[in-house]
Amino acid sequence: MVALPSLRGLQAFEAAARTGSFAAAAEELSVSAAAVSQLIRTVEEQMGRKLFHRVNRRVVLTEAGVEMLPRLTMAFQEIGSVARDVGGDAFRPRLVISVPPSMAMGWLSERLVGFVASHGAADISLRGDDDPVPFDHELIDIRLSYGPHYREHPTDEIVRDAVYPVCAPGLGGATKFESLAGLPLIHTDWGPTGAAFPSWRNWFEAAGIDPGRAAQRGLSANSSRAALDLAVSGLGVALAQGIYCAQALEDGRLVRPAARALDLRQPYCLTIPERSARRDVVAAFREWLIEQCVRAVRSAALTDPSPDSS
């Protein structure tokens, strides 16, 4: 029987090469970075090949390392598949999801049951994070963000949304397009470091209406989710992204008192670091999340506004 290199050493090499970092590999394997380095040295000695160039605290794959990585990744994925098939829940896949805070609080947390029901149980960490996020330090597998913030990682634009005036059905006068300036308005401000959110003044100008000071009065929230909750409570009319308000429009908690919408300036984007892209659970969640986002955006756009709106 052919002597095999240390399996633990091969696992350390594969994790370090896939994540691009000894520290990230150490966190994934629950060992120290020094242990990862020693395990890889042992494999190099056993195989008689250098797998990494160590230059100024950076590690770069050698030609031998480049050749080994995809084959080892496939081998460990197959081992993991066998373990899950035989061991069931004892070998559930791990998935770290990062989304904007407004999306984590309600929108995605309410939908995750659908992913688990269709794709099986997984150890999921759902994080509500502002940009930028530390992909390697937190071992984030997939990030949904507003705008393409992470060009250093593979990033796809998945859908472009719009904002719509929305309010509770019983809000007095909200079915009259011209009367919106006289109603309590709910403003969303993502703060000095966030992207510019379309304002009520932007909306009135696009509609050809001079709202006067009314465009600056009313309630204000620093998150899209909070603004939407205020609208559902009947406290005013909010400008809400379709991705967030679609469900409330479908079930009648909100109505669109006016047809005019404002396109958001940037698309929603998905970023998946290369170390995670080959994992089956990440690929499955990516497809599922894109479907959820596109469906919500389309649903809001197709919802009929109030008959008296224009």
Residue 90 in tokens:
């004892």
Number of domains in the chain: 3
Q: E strands within 123-210?
A: 123-128, 142-146, 155-159, 162-166, 185-188
Is residue 181 located within the same domain as residue 153? no
pLDDT at 178: 55
Is residue 107 located within the same domain as residue 155? yes
What is the pLDDT confidence band of residue 76, given thresholds at 50, 70 and 90? confident
Q: Give yes or no for a contact between 164 and 186, defined as CB atoms under 8 angstroms apart.
A: no
Is residue 68 located within the same domain as residue 154? no
What is the pLDDT confidence band of residue 268, given thresholds at 50, 70 and 90? very high
Q: Over the stretch 200-248, which tens digit does the pLDDT of each residue have?
A: 999 999 988 888 887 788 899 998 999 999 999 999 999 999 999 999 9
Indicate the residue among 39, 71, 88 that finishes a domain.
88
Report residue 10 CA to chain centroid gap: 31
Q: What is the CATH number of the domain that holds 45?
A: 1.10.10.10
Residue 144, domain extent: 90-159+269-298
Whole-model pTM? 0.70
Is residue 224 located within the same domain as residue 176? yes
Is residue 84 located within the same domain as residue 15? yes
Q: What is the 3-state secondary structure (H, E, C) of 60-90?
A: EECHHHHHHHHHHHHHHHHHHHHHHHHHHHH
pLDDT at 228: 94
Q: Give yes or no for a contact between 292 and 300, defined as CB atoms under 8 angstroms apart.
A: no
Instruction: Provide the 10 A C-beta neighbour count for residue 292.
Output: 18
